[in-house]
Structure 1
Amino acid sequence: MSPRPRDAAPPQAQGEGRSKPAMTAPEAPTAPASLTRKPLDEEIDVYGLTHTGKVRTVNQDQFLLASLRKRMEVHLTSLPDVTRLKLEDDRLAFLAMIADGVGGSANGAVASRLALEQVTQYVTQSLRCYYGADAREASFIDVLQQAALQTHAEVLRHASLDPDLEGMATTLTVWIGVWPWVYVLQVGDSRYYVYRAGELLRITRDQTIAQELVDRGVLTRTDAFDSRWASVLSSAIGGPQTAPMVTRLQSDWRNVHLLCTDGLTKHVSDERIKQRLATMTSAKQVCEDLLQEALDGGGRDNITIIVGRTVRKD
């Protein structure tokens, strides 16, 4: 969690928590038929961790890693050997989420917890999208946008019922892998990076006042990093405004995926992150190494990191 100004940008009217229209990033090219097979469960190397840091007394970050599956369970049958049915337990999708709560005291922890619970519930109830023949359809993107907007409304509802929760909000970054595509939903400034072949790409755009000033040419990136506006969110779940952004990327076996809250990037540069990912031996090892670097750099904030990759077994 960041200082109080990070709760949200000042409301333009009454601060009712208005929702901006959801935005969708330009689509990636149609996936070629020659794409390699979907990774097996045992070929997925993924790990996540969260730490309070060296200054905060409460950890307001949350994360979740999960697989969404399609299966049939036989309860009763006259068949002599159920194993001959070759029942499917296929992985439909892989889900990774992080949320960085803001709002003072423990309120941010409530907001981030609610966000992950609501998104998990909404996505699970919308499994029909994963059963479709074409996961690239616009309805899939709409599900993610609606998940963010409904979560936003739920956080606002909880805040309205309890004066102690007034002002709570959270960032939210959701990664869903539905082979051969990756969908990323972002609200706030918790980042998603892709590392491949020596290059580190920041896929998400920080939804902060500082980033908006950079986009307008008012601040340089260097000035923005040190600016007081760097900690003021222009979009948040439960904030005065929320603007969910969905990006679609083509899956690639060579990709290494990183999701993190700003507790990492306040202390560890993109260049250093790239170096760590380039020499990683496992997702667990690189998460722990990045955490230690953030702590060594001061650990002023809560730190949450998820790293995932695929490792072929054939």
Structure 2
Amino acid sequence: MYYCCGITSQGVMPHNEDAFLIHKTVITDGALEAKLAPPFLLGVSDGVSGEASGEVASRQCLNLISSIRFSRKTNMERKLEDVHNLLAQYGAGNSETRNMQATFCGIGVDENNLLHFFNVGDSRLYRYRNAKMRQLSTDQSLVQMLYKEGTITREEQKTHAYRHIISPVMGNLSHTPTPDIQHAGERMAYGDVLL
């Protein structure tokens, strides 16, 4: 069994563009705790600032992902592309939601207790193990690309003028995102925490 929990709140913002998924339940405000047996999916989604209806995009993204029957055989690249296409279709439906977009970062635990990681955008996945924090996902952003090619340093990433520019994400009408999908090939160790 896995203990899973999430919390999201509007905070000081005018509205909350964050949502989280625990198995089949999407939460846009409040908290949820659950004990789950594999297989299952967990995830977070964040509406893209500067685009229409971020709160709708993140909720819809996770609602669509919640319908995926996850297992070790699931083609998540194809499933996430399907989610992207449905989200883009929904967003194109009227002027209020036109080009609404959302990031997605999640994990899947398959029927063999193996971990799978998924990332589209710049929401992040970390693992806390043996008193050390390690980022498992890689941001899909302009500054990450500049860092990877050696143009800027890790420190410059934090303050770069274009640090908020991300690669195409879920729902983008112009480009299909390229999900970063990793099959860890490992189980969680006792005491591991994924954030």
Instruction: Say which SS state the counterpart of residue 151 (structure 1) adopts.
Output: helix
Question: What code does the residue aligned with 1:153 have?
Answer: N
Distance 1:102 1:175 in 2: 21
TM-score (norm 1): 0.53
Report the secondary structure of 2:134's partner residue. strand
Q: 1:171 aligns with which of 98, 103, 112?
A: 103
Conserved? CA contact 1:103–1:167, under 8 Å: no
1:225 and 2:183 matched: no
Structure 1 equivalent of residue 17 of structure 2: 60
Partner of 2:133: 200
Find runs of 4+ consecutive structure 1 residues off by over 2 angstroms: 103-106
One-letter code of the match for 2:11? G
Structure 1: gaps spanning 5 or more residues: 1-40, 68-89, 259-314
The answer to whether the 8 A contact 1:100-1:190 is kept is yes
Check the 8 A contact 2:147/2:154 in 1, yes or no. Answer: yes
Instruction: Name structure 2 gaps, 5 residues minimum.
Output: 25-35
Aligned residues between the structures: 180
2:39 aligned residue: 93
Q: Which residue of 2 aligns with 1:153?
A: 85
Matched residue SS, 1:237: coil
Q: Percent of counterpart pairs with the same letter?
A: 24
Shift of 1:217: 1.0
Inter-partner Cα distance in structure 1 for 2:108 and 2:97: 30
Hey, what does 1:13 align to over in structure 2?
none
CA distance in 2, matches of 1:203, 1:161: 35
d(CA) in 1 for partners of 2:166, 2:176: 9
> What secondary structure sits across from 2:96 in the alignment?
helix
**Residue 241 and residue 226 in structure 1: after superposition, are their counterparts in 2 closer, same or farther (change >3 A)?**
farther
Whether the aligned pair in 1 keeps the contact of 2:52 and 2:98 (CA below 8 Å) is: no
Q: 1:248 and 2:180 equivalent?
A: no
Quote the residue 1:117 is aligned against. 63
Kindly indicate whether the alpha-carbon contact (under 8 Å) linking 1:208 and 1:235 is maintained by their aligned counterparts in 2.
no
RCO higher in structure (CA 8 A, sep ≥6)? 1
TM-score (norm 2): 0.84
